[in-house]
Structure 1
Amino acid sequence: MSVARFRLPFLGFVTPLLIWLAFPGGGELWLLLAVALVPFILCLYSLTGKQAFVLGYLVGLACYGLQLYWLVTVLSKYGGLPLFIAVPVLFLLLSYMAVYMAIFGWCGSLMLRHFSPLALLVGLPSLWVGLDWLRSFLFSGFPWMDLGYGVAGVPLLVQSADLFGHHLLTFLLLLLNTQIVLLILRWQNRTENILPMVVTISMIGVVAAYSTWRQGDVDRILQLPGTEVLSVGVVQGNIDQSMKWSPDQQQRTVGTYLAATDTLVAERNAELVVWPETALPFYPTAYPGMYEMYNGLARSGTAVLTGAPWYEIADIEKRQINYFNSAQLYLPDGSIAGSYYKSHLVPFGEYVPLKRFLPFLAPLVEAVGDFSPGRIEGTLDFGNARIGVLICFESIFGDMGRKWVEKGANVLVNLTNDAWYGRSSAPYHSMAMTVLRAVETRRSIVRSANTGISGFIDPLGRVEGASEIFTPWSGARTVPLLTQTTMFVRWGYLFGPLCCLCGFGLVAVIWVRKKRSGGEKGS
């Protein structure tokens, strides 16, 4: 077999297919992640920088297209955009996401041509993780389904995330893929350098040993008699997204949640019951029917943490009102014990960036809302629980869970409304990303979704009592309230930016070498 065969363009497009087959909501064959990037990287080996950039861009379009196709439903069915606008808007997002893959292609081809095998083992994983980290915050950030999330369903494989977050899992997967590429190229070139393989096996072995030990250690802590716990119930109302905001359905919606709450308290002794994002489809302070909810809370004698839209008058004279996507903690007497206003809003979902220059996206704001961001200030406290709240896609950001733990949270609650996604892979992706927040912080996560997936995630990332999607469901569990601070929360979150510096630093080394060699030839 000739290395020239790697120039065949279609070989690189095997990578998006393998990733889709490996991810939750796709084939869920997570073992494929160990080889998923091999076809793409092999193609880069014999391409010029420009060719690698173009291939990376096209592969990125295919890869993210398979992951984000459901956005057309969000934009058209719920966002009010016609298909002839929704499809191009999706393509614009895919084009942006694909740029990161294109940069990896260009830089990766340079590394493959100029670096030793050992340097490649560091350079390619660092470059990929560094680009993931950049994508997590540039233009408000959209780190949807980094590779490391693909193993979220295998608890033993994710325990090292409490060191350096999910980026460490991605790094290790890139390490494996790079090593396989090196083995193939070694066979092609008849070289005999076993040092890279020794390094790869040693790194994976160390991480595997740590994960095994850490799983047993945390499990032991969870079983200690003195570990604090809280009995929590979750209600998944499965309220039709197209009907929930209808005035004649609002009271029925509240009644649905109250009835399920009464059952959880009576049969499962739930001390706190969690309802999903915007489970109250109205502004509580301005809704006359809130008396039914107050009566229901008093009857059940339980506290409820629920999502609700909220508003505050910022300036009476200027008639300036700020709207928020909020979480409200109601006590049995109807008083509010704590509130949180969502701080990381969804661009083009909860607000439109530069909307003065994008008037054709106005229906999105009209359909969903034009919210203001809040801040993470203090936990919502109930009994011995110090609650940190992740609303909707806040759970895909590692920094959000970390910040709540820094504020003293001993349990995290994820309120979401995944009805927007329809019957797609997105709810399974969202759940997988939430699992890593539990492991990174070693906090229990209680997840309440309007249409699923709801359930309980323990500090080891084990999902208990997960619901099916698009079905009414309720459940209760006793969740542990841990207080230890992980390395990730302290400083391990810096792994991403360090990889970015390392990856692009190595690319800079290549440029310096090329300039020097060019200057010497010219002289």
Structure 2
Amino acid sequence: MTLEPATPQVAAQSPAPRPLGLRVALPMAVLAGLALLVALPPYGLWWLAPAGVALFAAAVHRRRLRSGFWIGSLAGLVLFVPLLVWTSFSAGWLPWMLLSFAQAAFMGLMGLAFAWVSPLVDRRRWAWPIVAGLLWVAMEAGRSRAPFGGFPWGRLAFSQDDAPALRLAAYGGAPLVTFAVAAAGGALVALAWRAWRPTPRVRRPLAPVLGFALAAAALIAGPLLAPITQPGGETATIAIVQGNVPRLGLDFNAQRRAVLDNHVTGTEKLAAEVAAGRQKQPDLVVWPENSSDIDPIRNPDAAAVISRAADLIKAPILVGTVLRTDKPGDIENAGILWNPVTGPDLDQKYVKQHPVPFAEYMPLRPVARLVTDKVDLVRNMLAGDHPGILRAGPVTVGDVICFEVAYDGIVRDTVTSGAQVFAVQTNNATFNEAEARQQLAMVRLRAVEHGREALMASTVGVSGFVGTDGRVHDASGFNVAAVMVRDMRLGATTTLATRLGRWPETAMVALAVVALAGALPLRRRRRTTNDDAEAR
């Protein structure tokens, strides 16, 4: 009797499945970046965000780590270069490119991470949505903090201002919204990978396909069932004055007095409307960031015109101003409460806690000066050291200045310190309408997240009020003068997201690390299998 060689063992140890070819993966990465871009304002196609995640995950799946990084970076460049084009209007093309490439590098690292966990999701297909959500949250957590305090612009959560997922912000903040969107994308890619049949002879069970489809639908539409916090019954009448500027662009810095006069004029017109009975008497008037770039504490003329406006409107004005310090070159970006008759209340002042690096201050200035002396054109903006809690008669305002609205902790600190409403003071005169609408989307998320009505006051727009359901009321146009008055309901309860703080994000980042660690033995096993197969 002749014995045949035992070959089935070799066949059982089949090599690792291959990734998609580069001819397919590279266009998918480009499409992923485009889908993520148009999901964000001003385009607002929020439903493309899960599709962008799915395309991204499929493009880097099963790739070598180096390829995963470069393909992920490609998707990041397609997203961030057009998304951040407004940064070039005031700073030029070089900072725009450096910022875009830095943000794209985080997408590259996430592509590497997706490639790393490929054996895990190949072995446990049900883990696709969970792993995708965790890795995306971890990536956003990293780029929201580093380098130099991070830059959270373009988070998945900020694309969901009109989506059902926005309601999840009340339960776990922006990280939970991002997780839901990315998990929906993970379910979509798992669905596509499961449904795809490389050969017509292979029959696969239908239940997993239906399961992933239902999971995606639940993650996208299910949040509609989540209740949102309703504010208290008490109200305060608040006015926004959007004074506008003579010209958009860098000329803003040469128009300081004109900009101040525009906001004074807008307030005086509102006072005339109130006196004639055509408008309600406000309890508070909010001017935007840089509405008085002339320091009114040190400049008597600026102080006089602001005091005249406050006296006429018979209400305190929250003035966005730049304060000089005793040290030449050092400034503070501040919101200060200016009362009728008595003038500025220096105890009710908020100084921006998170100045923008390379724009409002220069990190590593001595080192940067070795490269170019132009670094000294950037003034040194000092950071504040406490939350923006301003008590203006019947309402306690949580003041947040410009880009700070993108940072979870800064906004939450105002609520835990007693804010009844949010006021986001911003200056969009050196950017464009797209940047303003991206910022308004963040205000909408914050209102839902913390159960507080909010307003955004801009020099040029877009200004408006936001309810705790995320809806915008009385929004202004862009590059126009406008005055809006509304009764804002004062927050009375705190949401689960406010109470939990950063714990949901911390837990998800920790679980992402667990997933990365869990893929290690599977990668070793796959490498050993491939080596054995090649040896035979």
**TM tier relative to shorter chain:** 0.7 to 0.9
1:132 aligned partner, one-letter code: E
Give the one of 466, 479, 483 matched to 2:475.
466
Q: Quote how far apart the aligned CAs of 1:322 are.
A: 4.5
Deviation sequence 1:185-231 (CA, Å, 0-9, x none): 1123554373585477368648855643514xx4xx45xxx711110
Q: Distance in 2 between matches of 1:446 and 1:53?
A: 40
CA contact (8 A) 2:412 2:501 kept: no
1:161 to 2:178 alignment: no
Q: Distance in 1 between matches of 2:53 and 2:226?
A: 29
Q: Quote how far apart the aligned CAs of 1:356 are.
A: 1.2
1:261 to 2:273 alignment: no
- Secondary structure of the residue that 2:237 maps to in structure 1? strand
Q: Distance in 2 between matches of 1:388 and 1:369?
A: 27
Residue in 2 aligned with 1:448? 457
Return closer, same or farther for 1:191/1:412 CA change in 2, 3 Å cut-off. Answer: same
1:109 to 2:126 alignment: no
Q: Quote how far apart the aligned CAs of 1:354 are.
A: 0.7
Return closer, same or farther for 1:344/1:55 CA change in 2, 3 Å cut-off. Answer: same
Q: Distance in 1 between matches of 2:154 and 2:251?
A: 30
Return closer, same or farther for 1:110/1:243 CA change in 2, 3 Å cut-off. Answer: closer
Q: Distance in 1 between matches of 2:411 and 2:308?
A: 34
Give the one of 20, 24, 27 matched to 2:37.
20
Residue in 1 aligned with 2:352? 342
Return closer, same or farther for 1:320/1:451 CA change in 2, 3 Å cut-off. Answer: closer
Q: Distance in 2 between matches of 1:502 and 1:94?
A: 28
Give the one of 174, 179, 183 matched to 2:187.
179
CA contact (8 A) 2:180 2:219 kept: no
Q: Quote how far apart the aligned CAs of 1:324 are.
A: 0.6
Return closer, same or farther for 1:519/1:15 CA change in 2, 3 Å cut-off. Answer: closer
Q: Quote how far apart the aligned CAs of 1:256 are.
A: 2.1
Give the one of 295, 303, 318 matched to 2:308.
295
1:89 to 2:106 alignment: no
Return closer, same or farther for 1:477/1:362 CA change in 2, 3 Å cut-off. Answer: farther
Q: Quote how far apart the aligned CAs of 1:255 are.
A: 3.0
Q: Quote how far apart the aligned CAs of 1:13 are.
A: 0.8
Return closer, same or farther for 1:180/1:518 CA change in 2, 3 Å cut-off. Answer: closer
Q: Quote how far apart the aligned CAs of 1:11 are.
A: 2.4
Give the one of 482, 488, 496 matched to 1:479.
488
- Secondary structure of the residue that 1:330 maps to in structure 2? strand
Give the one of 125, 140, 153 matched to 1:132.
140
CA contact (8 A) 1:280 1:307 kept: yes
CA contact (8 A) 1:264 1:475 kept: no
1:152 to 2:161 alignment: yes
2:91 aligned partner, one-letter code: L
Which residues of 2 match residues 19-98 of structure 1 at below 5 A? Answer: 19-26=36-43, 28-76=44-92, 87-98=93-104
Q: Quote how far apart the aligned CAs of 1:389 are.
A: 0.7
- Secondary structure of the residue that 2:460 maps to in structure 1? coil
CA contact (8 A) 1:130 1:498 kept: no
Instruction: Provide the TM-score with structure 1 as the length reference.
Output: 0.87
Give the stretch that moved more between structures: 249-258 or 406-415: 249-258
Return closer, same or farther for 1:350/1:109 CA change in 2, 3 Å cut-off. Answer: same
Q: Quote how far apart the aligned CAs of 1:45 are.
A: 2.5
CA RMSD between the two structures: 2.6
Deviation sequence 1:51-96 (CA, Å, 0-9, x none): 11111112212211121122221203xxxxxxxxxx3332222222
Larger Rg: 2
- Secondary structure of the residue that 1:386 maps to in structure 2? strand
Residue in 2 aligned with 1:228? 234
Which residues of 2 match residues 351-500 of structure 1 at below 5 A? Answer: 351-359=361-369, 363=374, 366=377, 369-377=379-387, 379-423=389-433, 425-500=434-509
Q: Distance in 2 between matches of 1:213 and 1:119?
A: 24
2:465 aligned partner, one-letter code: F
Residue in 1 aligned with 2:14? none
Q: Distance in 1 between matches of 2:133 and 2:114?
A: 10
Q: Distance in 1 between matches of 2:233 and 2:178?
A: 32
- Secondary structure of the residue that 2:365 maps to in structure 1? coil
Q: Quote how far apart the aligned CAs of 1:126 are.
A: 0.3
Residue in 2 aligned with 1:238? 244
2:96 aligned partner, one-letter code: L
Ranges in structure 1 where 5+ consecutive residues have no aligned partner:
77-86, 314-318
Aligned residues: 493
CA contact (8 A) 1:351 1:365 kept: no
Give the stretch that moved more between structures: 186-195 or 257-266: 186-195
